[in-house]
Amino acid sequence: MSWAVRLENVGRRYRAGGPWAVRGVDLEIRAGTLVRVAGGKGGGKSTLLRLIAGVDAPSAGRVRGRPPARGYVPERFPASLPLTALDYLTHLGRIRGLRTREAARQGARWLERFGADGYADTRMRELSKGSSQKVAVAQALLGPPGLLVLDEAWTGLDRPARAVLDDVVRERMAAGGAVVFVDHDPSRLADACTTVLRVTPPDSTAPAGSAGSAVPCGSAVPSGSAGSATSAGASMSFGAATPAEASTSAGSVAPAGSADPAGPAVPVASAGPAAPPAPDAPAGAAGPVGAAGPVGGGVRQGGLTRIEALGAPGARVPAGLPQDVRWRLTPGGDLFLTVPHARSDEVLRVLLNAGPPESGWHIRAVREEGENR
């Protein structure tokens, strides 16, 4: 396989004249490589991944050279579907061009490999967060994809499933595919990773050449680097717009480009209701109101995540929750947590990895509050 995805002076903003989420990106990703995208919150990682995967179209520049079969796991997966897990995967497989029987075969195989075959006939909206995430990953692997794009795909998976996904990424690379991923764990696949792309938000007030870099995995990231850099798997430059281009684009309307029709089937609900609004913990929920510490100082405004989990009746709250987490536990084992967004992955890890006697947490919902999406 010798293809390479190329982004040429790509920019994306979500409304005409609005701020750029990413801007002036020149990027090449080659077959057989593993590329990690890193950077701070709101830096444009998810936007860049969607553009690479072809589920979103750039407002400026162009993307070329994607392989025909691609898979994408979004950061948030629409789980509120009336279809069963296997029917959903079969449906997505058919959209990717597989025959029904083959789509069902592959779907069942992936469910089994991720330890979710027991949920094949369960409706998506009844799946736990962890099982739903397994379906989210499985749908991206149908085909199989030459280019696989994973946006926090490990989050919410149990430990065995996370290890399976690590293996699958290596297998995709060995088969000549490319994998691009974002993950909160800096050690994720560090031994296999080819390149780290580090993104920072474009600063519209800054001169051309805002930060962005591509460096080989394991090497030091140049601080405040601007312009371009290369490594074995990818090369990238950011913020290359000239002042003239910048002033033109600032007043222009983003092209009404649509996502590449040959791209991955976007795992966004085309049927079924939207995700339910985030409910508060049920009124009158019994049990202690615990607070390891108040949610407050140091927390970004609007940066809270609510997590609902179910443990065994009489379960205790697992040890190791971060200080700034608020929780409420009912005698029936319903656990409601309010956590700063930046801590949500850590909290999910504590719940999923809790050992006896606090083990067995089933993540039912993860909802973000107050995010400008």
Query: What residue ranges bind ligand ATP (CB under 6 A)?
Result: 14, 21, 39, 41-47, 75, 372-373
Tell me whether residue 47 or residue 106 sits nearer to ligand ATP (CB atom).
47
The C-alpha torsion from 11 through 14 and 17 to 22, rounded to 10°, is -30
Smallest separation (angstroms) from ligand ATP to the CB of 48: 7
Tell me whether residue 2 or residue 372 sits nearer to ligand ATP (CB atom).
372
Furthest C-alpha separation in the chain: 65
CB 130 within 8 A of CB 363: yes
Smallest separation (angstroms) from ligand ATP to the CB of 13: 8
Smallest separation (angstroms) from ligand ATP to the CB of 373: 5
Smallest separation (angstroms) from ligand ATP to the CB of 105: 34
Smallest separation (angstroms) from ligand ATP to the CB of 56: 9
Tell me whether residue 46 or residue 132 sits nearer to ligand ATP (CB atom).
46
3-class DSSP state for residue 22? strand
Tell me whether residue 334 or residue 345 sits nearer to ligand ATP (CB atom).
345
Beta strands in the chain (DSSP E): 4-13, 20-30, 34-39, 60-64, 70-73, 147-151, 178-182, 195-199, 212-216, 228-230, 234-237, 289-291, 304-310, 326-329, 334-340, 362-369
Tell me whether residue 43 or residue 71 sits nearer to ligand ATP (CB atom).
43
Task: Identify the helix (H) or strand (E) that includes residue 188.
Answer: none
Q: How far is CA 222 from the centre of its chain?
A: 25
Is residue 342 left, alpha or beta, with left meaning phi > 0 and alpha meaning psi from -120 to 50? alpha
Tell me whether residue 85 or residue 304 sits nearer to ligand ATP (CB atom).
304
What is the DSSP code string of 85-120? HHHHHHHHHHHTT--HHHHHHHHHHHHHHTT-GGGT
- The letter for the amino acid at 314 is G
Smallest separation (angstroms) from ligand ATP to the CB of 39: 6
Smallest separation (angstroms) from ligand ATP to the CB of 42: 4
Tell me whether residue 39 or residue 54 sits nearer to ligand ATP (CB atom).
39
